């Protein structure tokens, strides 16, 4: 038997973000994902060396300040699109 602080169901963005926050607090967790990969609706499969974007691409800094902050914190690339 092991005591775990938190059980996270689902390894999409929400679940992975929850896991990241918990790990920063040194809290134990188990993340259960039904599929054979994490990411949920986020998908970027490769085919013949090309990446195909099949999931979220856009965020709106004025309306999504938390996503904007997360993108910055993770050091992800983002650029304005007109």
Ligand X SMILES: Cc1cc2nc3c(=O)[nH]c(=O)nc-3n(C[C@H](O)[C@H](O)[C@H](O)COP(=O)(O)OP(=O)(O)OC[C@H]3O[C@@H](n4cnc5c(N)ncnc54)[C@H](O)[C@@H]3O)c2cc1C
Site for ligand X, rule CB under 6 A: 9-15, 32-35, 40-42, 54-59
**Sole residue written with tokens 């993340």:** 31
In whole angstroms, the minimum distance from the beta carbon of 7 to ligand X comes to 10
Residue of 19, 77, 10 whose CA lies nearest to 40: 10
Nearer to ligand X, 54 or 78 (CB): 54
CB of 4 to ligand X, least distance (A): 16
10 exposure class (CB count in 10 Å sphere: 0-12, 13-18, 19+): middle
Instruction: Quote the least distance from Cβ 47 to ligand X, whole Å.
Output: 16
Please, which residues have CB within 8 angstroms of residue 58's CB and are 6 or more apart in sequence? Answer: 81
| Nearer CB in complex with ligand X: 34/62 | 34
């Amino acid at each position: 038997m092991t005591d775990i602080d938190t059980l996270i169901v689902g390894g999409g963005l929400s679940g992975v973000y929850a896991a990241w926050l918990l790990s920063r607090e040194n809290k134990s967790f188990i993340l259960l994902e039904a599929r054979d990969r994490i990411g949920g609706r986020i998908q970027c499969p490769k085919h013949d060396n090309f990446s195909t974007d099949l999931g979220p691409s856009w965020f709106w800094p004025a309306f999504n300040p938390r996503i904007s902050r997360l993108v910055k914190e993770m050091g992800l690339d983002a650029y304005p699109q007109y």
